[in-house]
Chains A and B, each alone.
Chain A
Amino acid sequence: SQELEQSPQSLIVQEGKNLTINCTSSKTLYGLYWYKQKYGEGLIFLMMLQKGGEEKSHEKITAKLDEKKQQSSLHITASQPSHAGIYLCGAANQAGTALIFGKGTTLSVSS
Chain B
Amino acid sequence: ETGVTQTPRHLVMGMTNKKSLKCEQHLGHNAMYWYKQSAKKPLELMFVYNFKEQTENNSVPSRFSPECPNSSHLFLHLHTLQPEDSALYLCASSQDPGTYNEQFFGPGTRLTVL
Which residues from chain A sit less than 8 Å from chain B, CB to CB?
A: 4, 30-31, 33, 35, 40-45, 48, 50, 88, 90, 92-93, 95-104
Contact = CB atoms under 8 A, between A and B. Distances in A.
A101 B66 CA distance: 22
Given A40-B110, A41-B108, A45-B104, A96 B42 contact: no
A101 B42 contact: yes
Contacts of B107: 41-42
Contact of A96 (B6, B40, B88, B98): B98
A63 B39 CA distance: 26
Contact of B42 (A4, A31, A92): A4
Given A98-B33, A103-B41, A43 B90 contact: yes
Interface in B65-92: 88, 90, 92
7 contacts: A42-B6, A42-B106, A42-B108, A96-B99, A97-B55, A98-B103, A99-B45
B2 A97 contact: no
Interface residues on B, range: 20 to 34
Nearest to A101: B43
B45 to A, nearest CB: 5
A60 B40 CA distance: 28
B99 A31 contact: yes
Contact of B108 (A40, A44, A45, A104): A40
Given A4-B42, A97-B48, A42 B90 contact: yes
Contacts of B108: 40-42
Given A40-B88, A93-B45, A103-B42, A98 B105 contact: no
A102 B42 contact: yes
Contact of A98 (B4, B41, B56, B100): B56
